[in-house]
Amino acid sequence: MGYFIQRKQYVVIAGCLLLSFVMGSIHAFSLLLEPIENKFYVSRTFSSFTYSLSLISITAAVYFGSYIYKRFSPTRIVLIVMTLSTLGTLISAFSDSIYFVWIGYGLFFGFANGLGYGYTLQYSAIALPESKALMMGLVTASYGLGATIAPIFYRNTNTIGGFENTMISLTILFFIITFIVLFLFRFSNLQFDLEKGLPFQVKNYIPISKYLLWVIYGCSISAGLMCFGHAVGIAKSYYVSNEYIYIIPITMGFINMTGGVLFSSIIKFFPYKNIILFLSMLTTFSLLILLFIPSKISVFLCLPLISISYGGIIAIFPSMINKLVGDTAGIKIYGFVFTAWGFFGLLMPLLAGKTFDIFNSYSFIIFITTILSIFPILIIYLKYNKSLI
């Protein structure tokens, strides 16, 4: 009997990883910038706003997740994700206006993406509560793997039929994958029950303001959000040839995935604050190289380093928050902190597009993200240097 239950748990994890994987394709958006601009004759600001809007929608889904998850069964959650994602990409495929792309890709697919990612993050931890930090890290890594594979997929679909063909292909892919996940969740019949998540809370820890957690999280990932949205544009501005330009988003996705697995695995050996400090310093260092030593080598070196930092931060924050406040409260607190991801996800790609339109360069936005990446370092050193996390 115990063996059968364990097998059901692994079926849930397989479904979570698969759904997270296909949702990760959203972070290869930089390959859609020019196809959108070419089809709708819009500026970089307008095309960038599609990605920014999708990140806001993801944030809304994660923020309200604690209210949605407990009201619907796992299979119904997957059905909602299937409906919204396929509807969103279909609207985008047959749209004659950028505004409908904002509605389809930005709102519908973005919300489905956040709902699927946020749910699998928590559901995987429930499936294997004794290894929940690792499970959350694996789901995040699978999300990054999707961002790694998607550029190869986008490159072929863009070449064959442009933006419309890419959206149609995504619609078919989303339907197939979510249907498989639906079957896996139905077969396992594991309930979404937070009581099975072995609630745990650190005792005698120095309380951390959720607002400062918001700032630390948002500033730590701001560079990653900007770079994922404009990776191809940044590479072109540093004169990387079209022959090699697709290697960059693929590498960023793979390194992002690696960061998620690596840093969610070593949290047993290092305090969370030390990992956050290291990753923030790594981001700052990489941005300074991009700013003061602009070259092709800098692009191929620094964008992956920013990606591994981004992947590490988003992988360890959910388990850190759960460890501090317990599983039930952790979903709500993480939902609040995750709004920083939406805020900077809206601001950074949009600001990068706007400043590029003005200066025909990414130097200004790189300077801004460098300043932002310093804030987590200062906050931890000045206020939480003795924290137990």
pLDDT at 285 over 80: yes
- pLDDT at 204 (0 to 100): 46
- pLDDT at 97 (0 to 100): 95
Task: Give residue for tokens 């790189």.
Answer: 366
Q: Does residue 388 lie within any of the structural domains? A: no
**What is the rounded distance in angstroms from the CA atom of residue 42 to the CA atom of residue 167?**
18
Which two tokens mark 378?
Answer: 């200062």
**What is the rounded distance in angstroms from the CA atom of residue 60 to the CA atom of residue 64?**
6
**Inter-residue contact 16 to 127 (CB < 8 Å):** yes
pLDDT in tens, 31-45: 999 999 999 999 988
pLDDT in tens, 256-271: 888 888 888 888 888 8
CA 150 to chain CA centroid, nearest Å: 14
pLDDT in tens, 87-113: 999 999 999 999 999 999 999 999 999
pLDDT at 203 over 80: no
**What is the rounded distance in angstroms from the CA atom of residue 98 to the CA atom of residue 155?**
21
**What is the rounded distance in angstroms from the CA atom of residue 175 to the CA atom of residue 197?**
30
Among 64-68, 72-76, 340-344, 359-363, the range scoring the smallest mean pLDDT is 64-68
pLDDT at 345 over 80: yes
More confident call, 205 vs 98: 98
| DSSP secondary structure of 44-97 | HHHHHHHHHHHHHHHHHHHHTHHHHHTTS-HHHHHHHHHHHHHHHHHHHHT-SS
Q: Does residue 389 lie within any of the structural domains? A: no
Give the structural domain span for 370: 2-383
- pLDDT at 119 (0 to 100): 92
- 43-70 residues labelled b (16+ CB within 10 A) or e (exposed): ebbbbbbbbbbbbbbbbbbbbebbebbe
Chain-wide mean pLDDT for the chain? 87
Torsion sign, CA atoms 48, 233, 92, 26: negative
The domain total for the chain is 1
- pLDDT at 3 (0 to 100): 47
HSE-up of 213 (CA within 13 Å, CB side)?
Answer: 23
**How many residues are given for the chain?**
389
Q: Does residue 37 lie within any of the structural domains? A: yes
Q: Does residue 57 lie within any of the structural domains? A: yes
Q: What is the CATH number of the domain that holds 354?
A: 1.20.1250.20
Which two tokens mark 148?
Answer: 């790694």
